[in-house]
Chain A
Amino acid sequence: MARIVVLGAGVAGHTAASYLQRYLTKEHQVTVISPSSIYQWIPSNIWVGVGRMTADEIKFDLKPLYKKWGVEFLQAKAQRFYPEGDAEINSGYVEVSFTTPDRSGQTQKVPYDFLINATGPKLNFEATEGLHPGEGNIASVCTFSHATEAWELFKEKLEKMQNGQKQTFVIGTGHPTATCQGAAFEYILNVDFEIKRRGLQDLAEVVWITNEYELGDFGMGGAFIKKGGFISNTKLFAESYFVERNIKWIKRAGVKKIDAQKIYYENLDGEYLEQAYDFAMLIPGFAGHGFQAFDKQGTDISAKLFAPNGLMKVDADYTPRPFEEWSVADWPQTYQNPSYPNIFAPGIAFAPPHSISKPMTNKNGTAIYATAPRTGMPSGVMGKVTAENIVNWIKTGNPEIKHKASMGKMGAACIVSAGYGMSKGTAATMTVSPVVPDWDKFPEWGRDINTTMGEPGLAGHWLKWLMHYMFLYKAKGKPFWWMIPE
Chain B
Amino acid sequence: MENRLVIDKYSEQYYPPTPTNTTLFWRRFIPFQLIRFMILNWKIIRIVAKGHS
Contact = CB atoms under 8 A, between A and B. Distances in A.
Nearest to B2: A244
Contacts of B28: 423-424, 426, 457-458
A397 to B, nearest CB: 22
B47 A239 contact: no
Contact of B52 (A404, A457, A459, A463): A404
Interface in A242-298: 242-246, 248-249, 251
A100 B37 CA distance: 44
Interface string B6-44: 010000110111110000001110100110110011011
A405 B48 CA distance: 11
A456 interface: yes
B43 to A, nearest CB: 6
A463 B51 contact: no
Nearest to A251: B12
Contact of B47 (A240, A242, A413, A462): A413
A384 interface: yes
B52 A202 contact: no
Contact of B18 (A240, A251, A460): A240
B30 A384 contact: no
A457 B46 contact: no
A244 B41 contact: no
Contact of B16 (A243, A409, A433, A456): A243
B47 A412 contact: yes
B50 A244 contact: no
A239 B15 contact: yes
B45 to A, nearest CB: 7
A201 interface: yes
A246 B2 CA distance: 9
B36 to A, nearest CB: 4
Interface of B is mostly: helix
B27 A426 contact: yes
Given A197-B1, A413-B47, A404 B16 contact: no
B48 A377 contact: yes
Contact of B53 (A197, A403, A429, A433): A403
Given A456-B27, A458-B33, A196 B44 contact: no
Nearest to A248: B13
A431 B42 CA distance: 12
B45 A485 contact: yes
Contacts of A243: 5, 7, 13, 16, 18
A385 interface: yes
A238 to B, nearest CB: 9
Contacts of A240: 16-19
A411 B51 contact: yes
Contacts, number: 106
B3 A459 contact: no
Contacts of B2: 196, 244-245
B40 to A, nearest CB: 5
B12 A239 contact: yes
Contacts of B49: 485
A463 B26 CA distance: 17
A429 B40 contact: yes
Contacts of A244: 2, 18-19
Contact of B27 (A409, A410, A431, A457): A457
Contacts of A6: none
B37 A462 contact: yes
B23 to A, nearest CB: 9
A460 B40 contact: yes
Contact of B44 (A245, A424, A431): A431
Contacts of B17: 236, 240
Interface string A447-466: 00001010111111011000
A486 interface: yes
A411 B50 contact: yes
Contacts of B15: 239
A377 B1 CA distance: 33
A420 to B, nearest CB: 14
B3 to A, nearest CB: 5
B13 to A, nearest CB: 5
Q: Which 6 A-B pairs have the closest CB atoms?
A: A239-B16, A405-B52, A411-B47, A459-B37, A410-B51, A246-B5
30 contacts: A240-B17, A240-B19, A243-B13, A244-B18, A249-B12, A377-B51, A403-B52, A405-B51, A409-B52, A410-B51, A411-B47, A411-B50, A411-B51, A412-B47, A413-B48, A423-B28, A426-B28, A429-B40, A431-B43, A431-B44, A433-B47, A451-B46, A451-B47, A453-B43, A457-B26, A457-B28, A458-B27, A458-B33, A459-B36, A485-B49
